[in-house]
Amino acid sequence: MTLRTDDALREEMVAICRRMNESGINQGTAGNLSVRNAAGFLVTPTSLPYDLMQPGDLVQMHFDGRYEGPRRPSSEWRFHRDILAARPDVDCVLHCHSVYATTLAVHHKEIPSFHYMTAVAGGSTIRCSRYATFGTQALSDAALEALEDRMACLLGQHGQIALGRTMAGALALAIEVETLSRLYVQARILGEPPVLPDDEMARVIQQMKNMSYGQAPDLDGVNDTPSATAGDDRPAAKA
C-alpha cells in the first residue's frame, strides 16, 4: 500500500471498526482490526467498545512484539503480526465473530464451492482452521495454515478472518464471507448442495482477477469481435 500518515490510518480504522458493528458482522467488543504502517502495524486495543474508541486509542505495534501507547493491544495481536509478516500481498487484517460464519466454524465446516462467489476468497473453498485458544501462538499458526493462498478463512469454534490491501476491501470481504455463510447454512436445510467443479472455479477465479484490475471479464467471443472505432458503424460487442 502507499503509506499514509498515521493520523489518516487511525481515523479510517475507527470508522471501519464502527462500520463492522453497524453492518452486523460484529457485536460489542469482539473482533479486531490491524493495518500495516511504516513502523510496523496499528491494531485495535483490547476491551474497548468501538463507539468509544478514538484514534489515539489504537496501538502501535512492532513485528518483534513491542507496542507503544496508553492502551494494551488486542489479545489477538499475534495473528495480526504473523499474517502481515507472512503476507506482503496484504496490508489489513480484519477479525470478527459474524453469526453465520461462526455457526459454520463451531462445526469446523469449510465453505465449499456451492456458489461461485466462494472464489472471492481466492480459491474453491473457504477453509476452517483447527481450534486453538484465543490469543495464543497456536491460534496464529492455525490461521496461517487456513489462509495459505486464501484471502479469508473461518476460525474453528471462533469466527472469521478477512484480509485486504485496504481496510474497506477487508471489510467488504468479511461481509461477503458472512453472506456466503448464511446462504450455505440455509441451503443445507434442503440437503447438502451440489458444488461447482474445480475447472469452473478456476475460470471464476480468473474472471475475478481480471475484474479486480478494472477490466471487463474475458467472456467467450468478446475478444474475437473487432473493436468499434471512430467512424465505424458496426455495433460493439455487448457483454
Q: Which residues are catalytic?
A: 76
Yes or no: say if 108 and 156 are a contact pair by the CB < 8 Å rule: yes
Phi, psi of 165 (to 5 degrees): -75, -30
CA 211 to the chain's CA centroid: 18
User: Three-state DSSP class for 116?
Assistant: helix
How far lies 141's CA from each of 43, 55, 147, in Å? 19, 29, 10
The 40-43 sheet, strands edge to edge: 67-68, 59-61, 40-43, 32-37, 92-96, 159-164, 152-155
List the alpha helices (DSSP H) in 52-156: 77-86, 99-106, 137-146
Compute the distance between CA of residue 207 and CA of residue 219 in angstroms, rounded to an integer.
8
Cell, residue 33 = 482490526
Query: At residue 40, what is the residue type?
Result: G
Compute the distance between CA of residue 147 and CA of residue 91 in angstroms, rounded to an integer.
14
